[in-house]
Copies of this chain bind each other. A is one copy, B any other.
Amino acid sequence: MRATQRNTRQREVVLEELRRLGTHPTAAELYEIARARLPKISLGTVYRNLELLAENGIIQKLKISGAEARFDGDPQRHYHVCCVRCGRVDDVHDLPRNFVRRRAKQLSGYDILGFRLEFNGICPECKKRSAPGSDEGASQEKDRAV
């Protein structure tokens, strides 16, 4: 999070529309939608704001297989299904502890072909590199049930 951050109309609109959609739009899609309210907004601004919001943990940036990044207005959800044909992305809610293909299919309506689980964090090398008195404690380690 930066020192001082201003609340601009553009940032507000981008976030509002992303949340209102409830889907996983690309930056370009969001740009088109935002343009209805702010005709002069630029793609660059949309990208900059999405990036910033994601850095602050307010939204989520997804890099699913496929060309474009997608954004999720809900930073809490972590389960997604993506279509290998059209690239569409949906959520899978209420995934039980012992998640299974069958359950994912029931909840999403997809034919589940596979899955991918990714952890993210700081690798040993990077830890060493900035070990003593680390000042860049970006994401504090919340104790959620990973």
Interface residues of A, Cβ cutoff 8 Å to B = 61-66, 78-86, 88, 90, 92, 95, 97-101, 104-105, 108-127, 138-139, 141, 144-146
Contact = CB atoms under 8 A, between A and B. Distances in A.
18 contacts: A65-B120, A79-B117, A80-B117, A82-B120, A84-B122, A85-B126, A88-B123, A92-B119, A98-B98, A99-B146, A110-B122, A112-B119, A112-B121, A113-B122, A114-B119, A115-B118, A116-B117, A116-B118
A84 B65 CA distance: 18
Contacts of A105: 121
Contacts of A63: 63-66
A57 to B, nearest CB: 10
A81 B119 contact: yes
Given A113-B141, A117-B99, A146-B115, A122 B83 contact: yes
Nearest to A114: B120
